[in-house]
Amino acid sequence: MENQPEIIQKALGFAEQGKEIALEWLTSPAAWSQFGLLVVAFIAALLLTRRASPIISKWLTPPEEQTHFIARSRRFLLQFLPLLMPLLAYVFTGIGEGIVRSIFETGAVIAFGKRVFMFLAVRILVKDILNDGFLKLLGRYVALPLAAVYAVGLMEPLIAYLNSLKFTLGNITISLMALIRGAVAGGILFWLGRWSNDQSASYLKSQDQMRPATRELAIKASEIAIFGVAFLLLMNIMGINLSTLAVLGGAIGVGLGFGLQKIASNFISGIILLLEGQATVGDYVELDGGEAGTIVKMTSRATILETFDGRWIVVPNEDFITTRVVNYSDAGSANRYEAPFSVSYDTDINKLPEIIETAVGKLDFVLQEPDGPDCELRGFGDSGIDFAVEFWVEGIDDGQNKFTPKVLFAIWNALKENNIEIPYPHRVVEFKGTPPQATS
């Protein structure tokens, strides 16, 4: 033993202690009574789980058509149902431990069994419940090993050892245990934060009585609040005094001032857009640079436009503040368009406006308010007389609705029904001298 490496000597020492503990348990009446209580606790938890699981599952399963917050919360809780059996066994074992300690003044065996049930709960959580890739990785390589160490009763020595490993970053001193605790707690907190943010965003988007800009602003505010609280809780769990982050905050401020000007500008521009509501989700806009489309999403950095052919254009929020923006659909307002056409010089143009306005006015999408169809004479062209009919619609002629082509079809049919000729180019050719003769 003396010639072996230190780590092997410690391992052999732990093995010897384990052997002594096992022999003591096998020859002790108190140990056998604790084994019996463990079996009873396990059987009681198993029977109760079989009786209670269908009832709990039925209560937590909402109808498929329900999508509100309470229904989503019930579905979220339902996925933790496999933890019922090990947690019940843990609780029953804890009760049995209290009874044994009051009688025999010892409870090492039943305490070990209780820790094993907790290990089983963590294993089920990591293997069957967690779907998020980061959380699954965290559970596999952090939570499960820690649960195994806790099960064999070495958690306190391990915590003491990890707390002794410290390093300093500026005026912040942090231990390895704090980092591990922060990684585990941070993963859980930000997973819950992301889930809470998704639920709150879904709830706010369903509030149709709120203006779109107000909804987007509320979504951004709730996101900042949720993750801000998660960050503060994480700092508290890791044991970091927030006052020590003053230097780090100053460094971040300098970085924003020099290297992240555009990001900061776009972030502030996004907040201004949401507060003013001049352009919001659902509006059809056109920028000075030629970008045009329907706003489908507004993020903290950019606004997403979708063109009528399905392409997405990412426009920095700053462009909406510093350049001219044409909003065709602010608050769902009506828009005016015109459809040009020409008729022959043989046409009685005094009758034409009434014919065209009547035909266009029959289209179901053409509005009579603020003004009905208006046919106007625009000029005298080389081949015909130029007209245009102006009309109002509720929407955008963006390629999806195609209002103008339908109006042109109506004009064509109206002209044909009234035997009005649509001109085509005519050219008169004059020859000076003898015209050319055709040769055979």
CATH class of this structure's domain 334-417: alpha beta
The full DSSP string for 355-378 is HHHHHHHTSTTEE-SS---EEEEE
CA dist 120 and 97 (Å) reads 18
pLDDT of residue 438: 63
DSSP calls for 225-285: HHHHHHHHHHHHHTT--GGGGHHHHHHHHHHHHHT-HHHHHHHHHHHHHHHH-SS-TT-EE
> Which of 59, 56, 113, 107 shows the shortest CA–CA distance to 86?
113
Q: What confidence category does residue 340 fall into, taking pLDDT thresholds of 50, 70 and 90?
A: very high
Q: pLDDT tens, 95-147?
A: 877 777 776 666 677 777 888 888 888 888 888 888 777 778 878 887 888 88
**Helix 176-205, helix 155-164: angle, nearest 10:** 100
Mean pLDDT of 432-438: 68
Q: CA nearest 298: which of 227, 225, 213, 226?
A: 213
Q: Where are the domains of the chain?
A: 6-153, 190-259, 270-330, 334-417
Return the pLDDT at 298: 80
pLDDT of residue 64: 78
Q: How does pLDDT run across 254-275, given as a tens digit for each residue?
A: 665 665 677 777 777 877 777 7
What is the C-alpha to C-alpha distance for residues 70 and 229, in angstroms, rounded to an integer?
Answer: 23
Assigned CATH topology for domain 270-330: SH3 type barrels. (2.30.30)
Exposed e or buried b per residue across 195-211, where buried means at least 16 C-beta atoms within 10 angstroms of its C-beta: ebbebbbeebeeeeeee
Contact 406, 391 (CB under 8 A): no
Over residues 45-67, mean pLDDT: 84
Q: Residue 17, SS3?
A: helix
Tell me what the mean pLDDT of segment 39-65 comes to.
Answer: 84
Q: What is the pLDDT of residues 149-205, one digit of tens each?
A: 888 777 777 778 777 777 776 666 777 777 777 777 777 777 777 777 777 777 777
Query: CA-CA distance, 331 to 310, in Å (whole number)?
Result: 23
